[in-house]
Structure 1
Amino acid sequence: MFEFKREFSFIKYRKIIYIISLVLIIGGIGTGLIRGFNYGIDFTGGTRIQFDMGREVAIDDVKAVLKENKIQADVQHAGEDNDQIVLKTVQALDNAARTKFYEDMYKTFDLDKSSVVNAQLIGPSVGELLKKNAVKAVLIAAVCMLIYIIIRFEWKFGVASIVALLHDVLMLIAFYGFFHVSINNPFIAGMLIVVGYSINDTIVVFDRIRENLKYMKKKKLEELIDKSINQTLVRSLMTSITTILVIIPLYILCGDTIREFALPLMVGITAGAYSSIAIASPFYYDLSKLTEKKSKYKGK
C-alpha cells in the first residue's frame, strides 16, 4: 500500500486549519445570502411540464422555444428512448403563458395536445416544508450519531464528531453559495449520504486514537493524535478518492437530475475526508486539554 515518507503534524497547525475552514464557510454562506442561493423549483415552487415528443429531440431546440417565450427552465430528457422532455421552471406560469408556450411547442416539433403528459404547479409552501424537513433530518442524524459515539467511545469524541459533521454540512452549503449551483431535492439526499459517509471516516480515526491511548501511554497527547491520524491517513484519502472517481462518470455522462445528486456527493466527500483528518481529531485534542485544565483547577 502507498505510504507517505514523512508524518504530518496536524495538531501543531490546527488553528490555521480552523481559520481556513471558517473563512471558506463564512465567505461561501455570506456570498449565498447576499446574492441569494439558487433554489430550484423544489424549493421555490414553479411549473413542471412533461412532453411526449415521440422521438429524441435536442435540448437546445427546446431551450430556443423557451427563450422565445421568455421562460427560464431546466430541461432534461426522460423515457426509455429519451423521447420525452421534462421542463422545470422556477416561475409559476399562468394559463395564458402556458397556452402560448404549448402552441409554440406544437408548431416547432409538430405535436398535438396529447403530447402534454403532465403539467403541474408547485407552490412555495412545499419548498418551505422541504427546508424544514432537511434541517430536521440532519439534526436527528446528528443526535443519533452523538449517542452512538458517546456509548462506543466517550463524550469528547462525540462532540468532536458532531463539530466535524457540522463543518461538512456548512462547507457544502458554502460551495453552493460560492458557485450559485441550483439546490433541489437531490441536494438533500446527497447531504444526508455525506453525513453518514463523513462520520464513518471520522470513527476510523477515533478508533485508532482510542487504541493508541492504551498502548502509547507515555507519549504526549499531541504526538499520539498526530501518530493516529498519520496511521489512517492513506486509508482515509484512498477511500475518498476511489469513491469520487466512481461518481465523476455519473456527473459527466448522466442527466441533470443525476448531476444534481452527484455534485453534493463529491463536494461533501472531499469536505468529509478533510474534516475527519484535520478538524475532528484536533478538536478532540482541544476538548481534552480544556477538560484537563478544568480538572486541575478544581483540584486546586
Structure 2
Amino acid sequence: MSKLLNINIDFMRARRLAFILSAVLLLASVGSLATQGLKLGLDFTGGTLVELHYQEAPDLPQVRDQLEAAGYENFVVQNYGSSQDILVRLSQGFSPQVGEEVRSLLGDENSVELRRAEFVGAQVGEELRDQGGLGMLVSLLCVMVYVAFRFQYKFALGSVLALGHDVLLLLGFFSILRIDFDLTVLAALLAVIGYSLNDTIVVYDRIRENFRTVREGGPMKLINLSINQTLIRTTITSLTTLLVLFSLLIFGGEMIHNFALALIVGVLVGTYSSIYIAGTLLLSLKVSREDLALPVKEGVLEEDGRP
C-alpha cells in the first residue's frame, strides 16, 4: 500500500502529446458542431404522440424493431401507466392517419387499441435554449470569479478552459456519432460540468499547497508532484462512478441509455483533463511561486517568522 501512495509518474513529460490529442479532438468536435450540429431529440423538436393499449403486455424492444423496420426514425417507445399501455413519440409532423398507421403496424384491432394520437410541442423551446446557454455562460463567469478569489486568476482561467474543453468534447461526441441529444443528455452535461470542476479544484488546491510548502523544484516538478498526490483519489472516484454508470448503461433500459453514456464519456474526459489539461494550462500561463505567495503580515520578519 505504501508503494501505491508514493506514485511518481511524469505526467508533464507527455503534456505536449496530450495538448496535440486535445487539439485534434477539439477541432473535430467544433467542426462537427459547426457543420451538422447536434441530433436533437424529441424533447427539443416536438412530434406526434400515439397512445396504444395492448390486450397483453407488449415486448418494447420488439415494438421498436417493428417501427424501425417500417422506416420510422428518431422515435421513443415507453410504458405509460401500466405494462399494457405504451406511448410512441414520433419525430414526424402530425396527420390524422398517423395513429391508425402505427396501430395497424403493431397489431390488429383485437390486440392493439388506439387510445389517442396528437401533436406535441417541444419541451424545450428556442427561448428556453437561449436562456440555458446564457445561464451556462454566467455560471462559467461565476466559476472564474470564485477560483480567482479562492486561488489566483491564472487558476481561474485554467479551470474554465479545462471545463470548456470537457464540454466541447462531450458535445462533439454526440454530434459526430449522431446520437440523440435530449433532456436527459442535457442533465448529464450539467452533471459533468460539476464533476469536472470538482476534480480540477482538488488538483489545483494541492498545487497551491505544494507551491507554498515545498521549497525544491520548479513549477513543472511541483505540478507533477501534486497530480501524483491526488492520483489515487482521482482514480478511485472515477472508477467507482464508472461502475455505477456502466450498470445503468447495461441494465437501465433505453430511457436512460444516453444519459448514462453521456456521463461515462464526461467522467473519462473530466479525469483526463484534470490530470493532463488543467496542470498543463498552468504551465502555459507561467504560474510561479510568487503568484501564490502568502502576504507577509506587518511587523513579522520573513527570515524567522517572529515579531
CA contact under 8 A between 1:161 and 1:280: conserved in structure 2?
yes
Correspondences of 1:205-284 after superposition (within 5 Å): 205-284=203-282
Q: Which residue of 2 aligns with 1:21?
A: 22
Deviations 1:49-90 (A, max 9, x none): 333435421224424653576432434332465333222222
What letter matches 2:113 in structure 1?
D
- Unpaired segments of 5 or more residues in structure 2? 291-307
Stretch moving more, 130-139 or 211-220 = 130-139
Greater mean alpha carbon deviation, residues 141-150 or residues 15-24: 141-150
Distance across 1 between alignment mates of 2:183 and 2:222 = 42
Stretches of structure 1 that go unaligned for 5 or more consecutive residues are: 293-300
Letter in 2 for 1:37: L
Instruction: Indicate which of 155, 169, 175 corresponds to 2:153.
Output: 155
2:296 is matched with none
Q: 2:90 and 2:30 mapped to 1: Cα distance?
A: 25
Paired residues of 2:15 and 2:280 also in contact (CA < 8 A)? yes
The structure that is helix-richer by fraction is 1
Kept in 2: contact 1:76–1:255 (CA 8 A): no
1:143 Cα deviation (Å)? 1.8
> Structure 2 vs 1, CA of residues 9 and 122 (structure 1 numbering), >3 Å: closer, same or farther?
same
Structure-2 change in CA distance of 1:225 and 1:36 (3 Å) = closer
Matched, 1:87 2:88: yes
Deviation sequence 1:179-237 (CA, Å, 0-9, x none): 22111111110000000011111111111111111111332111111111111112112
Q: How does 1:18-97 map to 2 (within 5 A)?
A: 18-31=19-32, 33-35=34-36, 37-53=38-54, 55-63=56-64, 66=67, 70-79=71-80, 82-97=83-98
Partner Cα separation in structure 1 for residue 78 and residue 43 of structure 2:
18
- Measured against aligned partners, the alpha-carbon deviations of 1:218-269 in whole angstroms (never above 9, x if no partner) come to 3211111111111111211221111011111111112222112111111111
> 1-side partners of 2:166 and 2:109: how far apart?
46
Secondary structure at the residue paired with 2:180?
coil
Partners of 1:75 and 1:85 within 8 A in 2? no
Q: Compute the TM-score of the two structures, normalised by the length of structure 2.
A: 0.83
Change (3 A) 1:73 1:14: closer
Q: Once structures 1 and 2 are overlaid, which stretch shifts more, 243-252 or 87-96?
A: 87-96
SS class of match (2:12)? coil
Q: In terms of mean alpha carbon deviation, does 211-220 or 261-270 score higher?
A: 211-220
> How far apart are the structure 2 equivalents of 1:64 and 1:158?
49
CA displacement 1:3-40 (0-9 Å, x = unmatched):
27752223333222111011012223424544553221
Please, what TM-score do these two structures have when normalized by structure 1? Answer: 0.85
1:115-154 equivalences under 5 Å are: 115-116=115-116, 119-122=118-121, 126-154=124-152
Whether the aligned pair in 1 keeps the contact of 2:52 and 2:86 (CA below 8 Å) is: yes
Q: Which amino acid aligns with 2:17?
A: I
Residues 119 and 290 from structure 1, CA distance in 2 versus in 1: closer, same or farther, beyond 3 angstroms? farther
Q: Kindly provide the amino acid, as one letter, of the partner of residue 158 in structure 1.
A: A
Q: Is the 8 A contact 1:73 1:89 kept in 2?
A: yes
Pair 1:100-2:101 in alignment:
yes
Counterpart contact for 1:37–1:177, Cα < 8 Å: yes
* Inter-CA distance 35–291: structure 2 relative to 1 (3 Å threshold): farther
Distance 1:84 1:217, change over 3 A: farther
CA apart distance, 1:154: 1.2
C-alpha distance in structure 2 between counterparts of 1:65 and 1:224, whole Å: 59
Relative distance call for 1:291 and 1:42 in structure 2 (3 A) is: farther
1:98 positional shift: 3.2
C-alpha distance after superposition, 1:124-171 (max 9, x if no partner): x94534532442232232122222212211111111100110011011
